[in-house]
Amino acid sequence: MSPLNPAKTLGGGPIPRTLFSSLLQPTFKSPSSLFLSNGRIPHALRIASKLNTSQDSKSQALPDNNNKEKKRIVVFGPSPPVSEESNGVATNGEGKRAPAGVPLSGFFKRVPKRVLAALSNLPLAIGEMFTIAALMALGTVIDQGEAPDHYFQKYPEENPVFGFVTWRWVLGLGFDHMFTSPVFLCMLILLAASLMACTYTTQIPLVKVARRWSFMHSTEAIHKQEFAESLPRASIQDLGIILMGAGYEVFVKGPSLYAFKGMAGRFAPIGVHLAMLLIMAGGTLSATGSFRGSVTVPQGLNFVVGDVMSPNGSLSFPTQAFNTEVHVNRFYMDYYDSGEVSQFYTDISLFSLDGKEVMRKTIRVNDPLRYGGITIYQTDWGFSALQISKNGEGPFNLAMAPLQTNGDKKLFGTFLPIGNTDSPNVKGMYVSCFSLKPCSKQISRIE
């Protein structure tokens, strides 16, 4: 590959800046730059270049760069502390390598090493991610959390779906509770192990290597790189200036120049992996050591927190805050002009064991109450009872049952028997309500 002779192609003269800029910027202005920015090193472009200046100094205005220390200081400021690799190894991408510098002595150290190497294998990780994605997709297709009867009917043995999927498959593999099933959890644990292995073996050494500016001092080493070019009449200074203008960080040591760009792209995967590990750890913690509960409380009544919470996993321990009593002072709703529900509110007071009110807040859907590690959310509303007074008798408390629920458009009904309640054809009044707004829209029917 014959070196480019800039003097010939662009009419000679001093440094051909345009040639450099088109060569080294990661745009598609020239064929070579296609490869330089082809994503092997995502968003990072590292050039380790040493320019051979030709011996005829008459062809360029600047003197030779070979051994002029002052040029380095003048142009680029103080050189940073560098530790150079003795054999000039340059990393060209995030290939998987054996962990650097760990002694392999002893059998006990070798087995975990092999396990680590096996776990941080990239195709394995890709396969794991595919499997997890497929399992999640299955989890949305198969109905989750239903009674076994549902699966007996939906995946019967006499007429299996797709020819082989019966309820035995679904219930046996735990697909009815896919996201807590052993299969899924095992895949997640495997993925976490791969993440940890990969971060330890590959990413952390990569940080160490990336932080060292590996200058290359021989032409052969540079030409062994995937992309290399020889520009015999070029000047390192101008190359450095052009690179800095293009956003690279440039370091010069003697006759060698080292520039890189996009260091953040090296650290970002580490951050993402660590974040995923943290999320998984948090999820494990809350899956094994938390409490959940839900309760429907009519206005004016109380409940004790500890009564309604049930533990999620084996590590859940109740706290002192579980002894507080929650009193519903008032429940009310806001409506839009069209009559639909805009928001529903509950005014709550918390009382400690000795009857003192410790907190009072009105909660609504996106605004929960937090006290002592417990969070109380407003999730739903309903009618609990209807009080009717008739001819001065009563009031009669009639429990209401939901007739139809469609999100926030709910319909509740109850039945008030009139007359002889023992006869088989009981006469009575049906009352149905769907709104807390006073009067006007109640429907009642008498038979």
Q: Is 288 in the site for another protein (CB under 8 A)?
A: no
Looking at beta carbons only, is 132 or 190 nearer to another protein?
Answer: 132
Query: Of 136, 189, 281, 285, which one interacts with another protein (CB under 8 A)?
Result: 136
Beta carbon of residue 97, minimum distance to another protein (angstroms, whole number) = 12
Q: Is 343 in the site for another protein (CB under 8 A)?
A: yes
Q: Is 232 in the site for another protein (CB under 8 A)?
A: no
Segment contacting another protein (CB under 8 A): 40-48, 235-243, 355-363, 425-433?
40-48
Q: Is 42 in the site for another protein (CB under 8 A)?
A: yes
- Single out the residue of 51, 287, 53, 333 nearest to residue 185, CA to CA: 287
CA angle at 225 for the pair 220 and 229, rounded to the nearest 5°? 75
- Buried b vs exposed e over 262-271: b needs ≥16 C-beta within 10 Å? beeebeebbe
Please name the residues in contact with 200: beta carbons below 8 A apart, sequence gap of 6 or more.
Answer: 99, 116, 120
Q: Hey, which residues between 18 and 37 contact another protein (CB under 8 A)?
A: 22, 28-32, 34-35, 37
Find how far residue 430's CA is from the centre of its chain: 52
**x/- map, 202-231, another protein, by CB under 8 A:** ------------------------xx-x--
In sequence order, which ranges of 211-363 are alpha helices (DSSP H)? 219-223, 236-245, 264-288, 305-308
Q: Distance (Å, rounded) from C-alpha 126 to C-alpha 130?
A: 6
Looking at beta carbons only, is 294 or 444 nearer to another protein?
Answer: 294
Contact 170, 155 (CB under 8 A): yes
Q: Is 307 in the site for another protein (CB under 8 A)?
A: no
Q: Is 129 in the site for another protein (CB under 8 A)?
A: yes
DSSP codes, 111-135: HHHHHHHHHT-HHHHHHHHHHHHHH
Count of residues in contact with another protein, rule CB under 8 A: 57
Query: Of 83, 87, 140, 314, which one interacts with another protein (CB under 8 A)?
Result: 140
Looking at the DSSP bridge assignments, the partners of residue 411 are 404
Q: Which amino acid is at 440?
A: S
Looking at beta carbons only, is 323 or 343 nearer to another protein?
Answer: 343
Q: Is 132 in the site for another protein (CB under 8 A)?
A: yes
110 SS3 class? helix
- Single out the residue of 8, 134, 244, 438 nearest to residue 16, CA to CA: 8
Beta carbon of residue 328, minimum distance to another protein (angstroms, whole number) = 18
Beta carbon of residue 16, minimum distance to another protein (angstroms, whole number) = 11
Q: Hey, which residues between 384 and 423 contact another protein (CB under 8 A)?
A: 407-408
Q: Is 342 in the site for another protein (CB under 8 A)?
A: yes
Q: What kind and span of H or E run contains 75?
A: helix 69-76
The total number of residues shown for the chain amounts to: 447
Tokens 């345009």 sit on residue: 18
Find how far residue 267's CA is from the centre of its chain: 17
Query: Of 11, 39, 77, 392, which one interacts with another protein (CB under 8 A)?
Result: 39
Interface ranges with another protein (CB under 8 A): 1-2, 4, 9, 22, 28-32, 34-35, 37-40, 42-43, 93-95, 122, 125-126, 129-130, 132-133, 136-137, 139-140, 144, 179, 226-227, 229, 272, 283, 292, 336, 338, 340-344, 364-368, 375, 377, 379, 407-408
